Amino acid sequence: MAEIGIPMLGCHSRRHDEKPANGPRGISAGRYGVALALLSLLVAGCSRGMLVGGHPYPSADWQTELQYDAGDIKPLHMSLAGCPEVDVRLNGKPFRLLFDYGCSKGFQITTAVHERADYTVLEETNTYWADGTIRGKVKRIRVNSLEVFGDRYEDQEGTLADWRIFSSVPHEGLIGLEYFAGYRFTQDYRRGKLGLTHRPFPAALKGSSDYESIELLDPPEYHKYGVYVLGKVNGVECVIHIDTGSSKTMVDPTMLTGSEKPPAELAVSLGSFEFTIRRYCVAPIQHPSPCQVPVRMGIGSDLLRHFVITIDRTEKQNLLIVHK
Cα within 13 Å of Cα(322), Cβ side: 23
Q: How far apart are CA 279 and CA 106, in angstroms?
A: 33
Burial of 126 (0-12, 13-18, 19+ CB in 10 A): exposed
Helix, strand or coil, per DSSP, at residue 245: coil
How far apart, in Å, do the first and last CA atoms of the chain sit?
A: 11
Q: Identify the pLDDT of residue 164.
A: 87
Q: Identify the pLDDT of residue 213.
A: 96
Q: Identify the pLDDT of residue 161.
A: 95
Residues 62, 307, 32, 161, CA torsion sign: positive
Which helix (H) or strand (E) segment holds residue 133: the answer is: none
Pairing of strands 77-78, 151-161: unpaired
Given its phi and psi angles, is residue 192 left (phi above 0), alpha (psi -120 to 50 degrees) or beta?
A: left
Q: How far apart are CA 156 and CA 5, in angstroms?
A: 40
Pairing of strands 77-78, 84-90: antiparallel
Q: How far apart are CA 277 and CA 119, in angstroms?
A: 43
Q: pLDDT for 23-52, tens place per residue?
A: 445 455 555 454 444 444 443 333 333 334
Sites in the chain below the pLDDT cut of 50: 6-24, 26, 32, 34-53
Residue 243 contacts residue 130 (beta carbons within 8 Å) = no
Residue 195 contacts residue 185 (beta carbons within 8 Å) = yes
CATH class of 2-323: mainly beta
Of 182, 243, 247, 209, the closest CA to residue 15 belongs to: 247
112: number of Cβ within 10 Å = 25
Given its phi and psi angles, is residue 32 left (phi above 0), alpha (psi -120 to 50 degrees) or beta?
A: alpha
Q: Identify the pLDDT of residue 312.
A: 99
What pTM was computed for the model? 0.83
Beta-carbon contacts of 211 under 8 Å, excluding residues fewer than 6 positions away, are 205, 310, 321, 322, 323, 324
Angle subtended at Cα 101 by Cα 97 and Cα 107, rounded to the nearest 5 degrees: 40
89: number of Cβ within 10 Å = 14
